[in-house]
Structure 1
Amino acid sequence: MVSGIPSTAHALLTGRDVLAATRAAGTLLPGRRTRPGVAAGLIAHVVVSAAWTGVLAAIARHHRLRAGGGAIAGLAIAALDLGIAARAYPAVRALPRGPQILDHLVFGAVTGALLDRPVWTDQGTTSTTSPGCSEL
């Protein structure tokens, strides 16, 4: 939810539709390329976010991301997501690019920071590394 703040703020400040990005994401689902929708967009956002969170969690098992590393990862994700989706999906291509990139940056930063939180062990102690993460 936090990662949508940049595009939502941009939409509010410019008088655009605050649900345009959600509707555009709905076109990513099979059979919906020309039928944007809010419900489909919510499903698509959850699936895509969960997939990228899984990728970042796998990376965090070996390398601490922190917010900065997560933000860089978010920019890489934006390049992939928006680069591919913008070419293939007109509803995504119609979105203002800057706010969408910022949404991805925030997603990566927040996810990287959350993956870097201390983990409680069975012994009641904490570790500052992600599960399975070795300090460099």
Structure 2
Amino acid sequence: ALASGQPPLAAARAAGELLGRPGLPRGVVAHAALSVGWSAVLVAVLPRRCPVMAGAAAGLAIAALDLGFAGRRFPAIAALPTLPQVADHLAFGALVGATLRRRRERR
């Protein structure tokens, strides 16, 4: 967000629209629910081999689904710059993959 000149919490506020209207409290709840849901999916499907790369690729797929769906239906989300949102999803997937790899190594 900062690199694109957007306020740091703009995406979180926009996510509030998923629960009725833009706003930080609703956005935090919506974003947390989506993050937990997508994390559960990734934990179930990421391969043992190269989970970070697979997670990053999955993050791009999640971006296509999330932003494709939300961008068409929610103006506050559609108004956000696309590239930072895609980068955020990519980083999310990679971080879930890295966390999963580390947990698997400890077993």
Query: For the residues of structure 2 that align with 1:96 and 1:10, how far apart are their CA atoms?
Result: 11
Q: How many angstroms does 1:9 deviate by? A: 2.8
1:72 aligns with 2:57: yes
Q: Where do 5+ consecutive residues of structure 2 fail to align? A: none
1:9 aligns with 2:29: no
TM-score by length of 1: 0.72
1:20 aligns with 2:10: yes
Q: Determine which of 42, 49, 54 is the counterpart of 1:56.
A: 42
Q: Where do 5+ consecutive residues of structure 1 fail to align? A: 1-7, 121-125, 128-136
- Residues 50-75 of structure 1 deviation map (CA, whole Å, 9 limit, x = unaligned): 00001001113xx2252111000000
Higher helix residue share: 2
- Residues 65-117 of structure 1 deviation map (CA, whole Å, 9 limit, x = unaligned): 52111000000000000000000000000000000000000000000111111
Query: For the residues of structure 1 that align with 2:10 and 2:58, how far apart are their CA atoms?
Result: 24
- Aligned residue in 1 for 2:83: 98
Q: Percent identity?
A: 50
Task: State which drifts further: 67-76 or 111-120.
Answer: 111-120
Query: For the residues of structure 1 that align with 2:8 and 2:32, how far apart are their CA atoms?
Result: 18
SS of equivalent residue, structure 1 residue 10: coil
Which one has the largest radius of gyration?
A: 1
Query: For the residues of structure 2 that align with 1:20 and 1:106, how far apart are their CA atoms?
Result: 18
Query: For the residues of structure 2 that align with 1:101 and 1:84, how far apart are their CA atoms?
Result: 14
TM-score by length of 2: 0.91
